[in-house]
Amino acid sequence: MAGYVDGAPRNKSVADKWRFNNAKDKFENLRSAHERVQSKMKTAKRQHSELKQEYTKLKDELEQIQKAQKDRITELKQQRNYRDRNFPEDGTYYGEFQGQPAKIKISDSGNSNRMDIYIGGRNRPDGKDHDHILAKDGNIDHWRENGEIIIDDGKSEHL
């Protein structure tokens, strides 16, 4: 029995049965493929839902952290901008340093945290031949005593 071009047998009832079985096999294959895809889709939807919940949770946590950070920055700015009522307008204090009269000039302009200490000058702490100490951000950058440089820009060794 020779078949037609599409491979179907020549006998009509056999050919119909063959076409039916062939279509049935294709249908079963497609249905099986559809079920696999549907199963994968359900899994993907479930994972998407779980990830969406996790994303929402993390987003809320991030927003809380950002708000706390913003609040802390505001608090720190308020502390930095706090002005002591006893702080002189020009930032100059007079006192003692190493037992000598001293002029202490504090500058917070531009938040530089700079402090100059003048001691031992003629007639006044910052007079002729005075000693000078410059500190920035809590570090001594310059120290001149009796005309001799002890520290220069924080790079020299202590004598």
Instruction: Dump pLDDT digits (tens) for 4-13.
Output: 556 656 677 8
Whether the pLDDT of residue 56 is over 80: the answer is yes
Percent of the chain at pLDDT exceeding 70:
80
Give the Cα separation of 98 and 120 in Å (integer).
Answer: 10
Task: Output the DSSP codes for 60-109.
Answer: HHHHHHHHHHHHHHHHHHHHHT---TTS-TT-EEEEEETTEEEEEEEE-G
Query: Is 35 within a domain?
Result: yes
Task: Provide the number of structural domains found in the chain.
Answer: 2
Same domain, 72 and 97: no
Length of the chain measured in residues: 159
Same domain, 7 and 78: yes
User: Hey, is 124 helix, strand or coil?
Assistant: coil
Query: What is the per-residue pLDDT across 93-135, written as a single tens digit (0 to 9) for each?
Result: 888 887 888 888 887 665 567 888 899 888 888 888 888 888 8
Q: Which residues pair with 117 in a beta bridge?
A: 104, 133
Same domain, 46 and 6: yes
Same domain, 18 and 74: yes
Query: What is the per-residue pLDDT across 22-38, written as a single tens digit (0 to 9) for each?
Result: 999 999 999 999 999 99
Give the Cα separation of 32 and 156 in Å (integer).
Answer: 82
Give the Cα separation of 11 and 52 in Å (integer).
Answer: 59
Written as six digits, the tokens of 112 are 């530089």
Average pLDDT, the chain: 81
Query: Is 87 within a domain?
Result: no
Query: Is 77 within a domain?
Result: yes
Q: At residue 116, what are phi and psi to the nearest 5 degrees?
A: -110, 135
Percent of the chain at pLDDT exceeding 90:
29
Higher pLDDT, 82 or 44: 44
How high is the pLDDT of residue 15? 78
Give the Cα separation of 2 and 4 in Å (integer).
Answer: 7
Same domain, 37 and 56: yes
